[in-house]
Amino acid sequence: MVQLTSRSASMSVESAEHAGHSAGTGRDEASAAAGQGAAPVAGAEEPGARGGSPDRLRQLVHRTDRQDVFPTGLTRLTDTQFSVSAHWPRDHRFFSPVDGRHQDPLLIAETMRQTTMLIAHDQFGVPVGDAFVMWELRYTSVSGRLELGDDPWDITVDVSCSRIRRRGRSLGSMHLELLLHRHGTVLASGGGRISCTSAGVYQRMRGHRAAVLGTPVPLLPAVAPSTVGRTSERDVVLAPAPDPGTWLLRLDTRHPTLFGRPNDHVPGILLLEAARQAAHAIAPGRTFLPTEMQADFLQYVELDRPCLIEATPLPADEESPAGVLIRAVQDGEPAFTCTLRAPDPHRAGAGDARSDLS
């Protein structure tokens, strides 16, 4: 339980681009007709860098360090449609370039997560003290669209919310569809489903886990960073396990990005990174660039119990390139599943051919 996405949002990138341009035109017209303009994030005393108070933005996206905050501003287009500006760094302490040429695709997932929370807090009245439960994550991208180049990475996220269920004056749950684009080019499409739990209800549900907050978690030995696509042991989230294709989840609660704030369970972004590292580990000889992701968060992964990460190769088919199925298993039960797919460099970019927009 920690994610975001609507199954109906899993469209190809080229169809997403067409839909995004069509929907964008309609939204702009609707916005103009309603007299709506760019709405700064609520609570911003002065417009901060690229569109909002940095302190307020950090609070609304649940990040404590400014360099881990990617949204920069928010525009309300209609009651259910929004445009969020965002900035991706060219080099980040954790979301670093892949193979030196591509932006880290996990920036897509993290930007979706932060965008969802920003809109929920700022536009749907979710109190900052409430808890989010995100259930799925889906995105599709194209490796060529993630090549670094020389230009700054200022992007726009178009968001459409649906199946909105209220809880009193706040938000109970909703589905989202998200389209990330830059310079008129679609970077990724995806979506999400989120539910919100009041602070009081969360306390009743998880109050017994409060004791783990701030409690040191034994740091397991790391696998070699190079085997999981990392350069620093600090960023490795897998530890050796006896069976091939399996690892133990390695938790460093001092990690500035993965554990940027106190948490009573394993953060979702850490599970996604574990999936990426496991996929890289069983795809030796090449860099694994996860341009397609489908993740389901089934239950909380607890900090103080062993969690096994299992990886199974998936063959390519007519619809999808080869990939890896990853499961996180705790107490004998699956807690997280994730399918990652990457373009095959030996097939002349065949993995990207279905989404070629040129």
331: DSSP letter: T
DSSP state of 87: E
Q: Are 96 and 172 in contact (CB under 8 A)?
A: no
CA torsion, points 37, 41, 46, 49, in degrees to nearest 10? -90
Picking from 198, 181, 201, 194, the residue whose alpha carbon sits closest to that of residue 88 is 181
State pTM to two decimals.
0.83
Which helix (H) or strand (E) segment holds residue 341: the answer is: strand 333-341
One-letter amino acid at 346 equals H
- Smallest Cα–Cα separation from 196: which of 130, 245, 150? 130
- Four-residue CA torsion sign, 65, 70, 75, 80: negative
Q: Which residue type, as a one-letter code, is found at position 235?
A: D
User: What are the start-end ranges of the E strands in 215-259?
Assistant: 238-240, 246-249
DSSP 14-40: HHHHHHHHHHHHHHHHHHHHHT----P
One digit per residue, the tens of pLDDT, for the chain of length 358 reads 553 333 333 334 444 444 444 444 333 333 333 333 334 454 433 323 334 578 889 999 999 899 999 999 999 999 999 999 999 999 899 999 998 899 999 999 999 999 999 999 999 989 988 888 888 989 999 999 999 999 999 999 999 999 999 988 889 999 999 999 999 999 999 998 889 888 888 788 887 777 677 677 899 999 999 999 999 999 999 999 999 999 999 999 999 999 988 788 999 999 999 999 999 999 877 789 999 999 999 999 999 999 999 999 999 888 888 999 999 999 999 999 999 999 876 554 444 434 443 3
3-class SS of residue 171: strand
